[in-house]
Structure formats: C-alpha cells, structure tokens
Amino acid sequence: MPDFELSEEYQDLSDTVRDFADEVIAPVSAQHDAEHSFPYKVVAQMGEMGLFGLPFPEEYGGMDGDYFALALALEQIARVDQSVAITLEAGVSLGAMPIYRFGNEEQKQQWLPLLASGEALAGFGLTEREAGSDAGGTKTTARLENGEWVINGSKEFITNSGTDITRLVTVTAVTDTVTEADGTFRKKISTILVPTDTPGFTAEKPYNKVGWNASDTHPLTLTDVRVPEANLLGAPGRGFANFLQILDEGRIAIAALATGAAQGCVEESLKYAKERSAFGAPIGTYQSISFKIARMQSRAHTARLAYYDAAARMLAGKPFKTQAAMAKMIAGEAAMDNARDATQIFGGYGFMNDFPVARHYRDSKILEIGEGTTEVQLMLIARSMGL
C-alpha cells in the first residue's frame, strides 16, 4: 500500500515553516496588502531560513533539498499570505530554476548562490500582450551584434521584476526564424539573462491588481538592451521548449500554494464557526455551516493528494506532466471554491479586507489563471488521453 505520511525530515520542515508563517508572516499580512508594499523584512528572514535555496545543491548555496520540500514550504506560507508564497515560488521556480536546469557552470556559479540566499530575486520574462501560452505570438527580438545580444520588446505580468533586490530577469526573445517545408515561418525563441541594471531595461509602473497586493508585478520594456553573447541560457532556439519544462515543475509548486490557500480558508472558517454564535448556539453546530466546512476540507485534502502524487512522480524521474496539470487545476479550483465558501461563512466580516478570508477571496482567482489557465490544464489532460 502507498504511504502518504511525510517523513520526519519533511514533517519537521513543514512544521517549522508553519510556525514561521503564523508568527512572522501573518501578523503583517493585512498591512502589506493594504499598503501594496513588498515585505522585504519577511523575505530576508525567509532567505536566512534557506527557503529560497531549498531545491538546490549546497555547491550553489542551496539546502540540498528537493522540489517537494519547496512545495511543502509554499503550502504552509500560502495558508496565511499568498503574496509571500508567490514571491518564494516565482523566485525559485521561475527565477533561479531555469539557471539551474539549463545554465552552464559559469552562469550557475555567478547567479545561483545569490538567488538561493534570498538576498536577490530573479524573474522570468515570457508573457507578452499577444503571447503567453502561444509562443508564436512572441514579438520581443534579440539579434547578435559585435558579440552582444541587442534585445527589443516588452513583457507583461512579470513577478519579482521590479523590487529593490531584483537583480536579473530571463527573457524569451525571437533570435531566428526557420522556413518550413510548406513555406511557413517558425520563430526560434531563445532565453537570455538580462541583469536589471542593464541600460534600456525598464520595469514600468507596477500593476494595480485585484489581489496578491504585496507581490511585485510589472510590465517590462527592453529598448536596445545589450548583454554579452554568453548570457544566452541553454541552447539557441530552445528557450520556449525549456520554459515549458519549467512550467510543468512550476505547476506542482502552484498546486501546493493553492492547497495552502484552500487549507487556510478551512482553518479560518473552523475557528470562526466555533467562536461566532447565532440564535443561541455556535454557528458550527448548524449543518449549513458544518457541511460547508466539511466540503472545504475535502477539497483541500484532494488537492494535497494531487500535488503529492505529481511531486512523487517528478522526483522518481517518471513522466508527470499530466499529473502536474491535474494537480494545478484541482488545487486552483479548490482555493477559489473554499475562498468563496469561507467568505459566505464569515458573512459581512468576510467582505472586510482585514480578515484573511477576504484576502484569499481576492487572491485565489489568479490561481485559475497564472502559470497556465484552467483551460490550458484541461487541454493538456485531454491531449494525454488521445483527444
């Protein structure tokens, strides 16, 4: 029989991060959300704990852990603050992981110790106004000129791209085109490392978002940005294909984050149902409330099993693309459904931003959109079934 119990090492990590989330992150969450301010002190403490280095080897400044360890940390943090959780997820999965997976040794030695320490953040510039899941829409270009890449274009919705500690953004750009047998043109998309202090790189005004208000998200403009030819990450023309691999892994991380959000709604609702009385009894004694919370717990449990399974397959070296897509879809929907139910349980207080369930209600919708919409996950699942 499969054993779904965490090992002592994983459980200790989960418990430690849970305590940190409750004692350090939760007390300042409402303030950062209201002020739309980036939680630099919290991020620094997470760096000191080694959370940004969890899945990387010690030789690159990491904690010599694995991707499942990162997922466990994300689940515990997202219970209390999705903005902080996505800062960690994007910093590791989108910022540092492409360098670890596809970088040469010089690039790894230059960037990974800094990123694994949490002293610096990196972003990944993929999405454009007309390109995201559709790589063919990529308009950003990079051409070689005197040993330098000259990059021109723009990017949208780039996490961790404009903080005071952001040092790098990896951008996708069209570096060549290929003529197919039928006469059509196919873009060859590569990934290039762009330090944020490079002239011509601009993080524009941050977005005014519905949720994730303490997470840093900007559109980017690249105007005649020049970086060395050696800043090419991975093989030329393999940029989008490599990033699809990063997205497959990232969906496990996002599923863990969404599971945490779903569980956070359960915990807040359970506590409130025991404390709040109506008609002479705690509201948790009424089936309309207790059944709702039971269903919420079932959703969180199912989401957790889904991302555990996908992570186990990944760590075992087995195919996991479909399982990651299912986990991301199931967990994202669980987070949104639980946030809706939790807000209903809290009544008027659920509409007040001071309460965590209200923030989860605003934050959770993006979990059905970011890093692959629910529709994209359904498409991937259907394709795996031969449809």
The residues annotated as belonging to the active site are: 371
CA-nearest of 73, 64, 104 to 91 is: 73
Is 70:55 a contact under the CB 8 Å cutoff?
yes
If you ran DSSP here, which 8-state letter would residue 138 be given? -
Backbone φ and ψ for 196, nearest 5 degrees, come out as -70, -10
CA-nearest of 235, 299, 220 to 264 is: 299
Look-up: residue for tokens 């967990």?
A: 331
Token pair in block for residue 264: 């956070």
Is 358:379 a contact under the CB 8 Å cutoff?
no
How far apart (Å, rounded) are the C-alpha atoms in residues 151 and 363? 33
**Which string of b and e fits 202-240 if b means at least 16 CB within 10 Å?**
ebeebbeeebbbbbbbbbbebeebbbeeebbbbeebbbb
Q: Which long-range contacts (CB under 8 A, 24 or more apart) does 317-326 make?
A: 320/248, 320/252, 321/248, 321/380, 321/384, 322/380, 322/381, 322/384, 324/248, 324/249, 324/251, 324/252, 324/255, 325/251, 325/372, 325/376, 325/377, 325/380, 325/381, 326/377, 326/381
If you ran DSSP here, which 8-state letter would residue 233 be given? E
Collect all residues with Cβ–Cβ distance below 8 Å to 78 and sequence separation of at least 6: 85, 256, 257, 258, 259, 260, 261, 264
How far apart (Å, rounded) are the C-alpha atoms in residues 161 and 220? 8
Helices (H) and strands (E) in the chain, counts: 12, 10
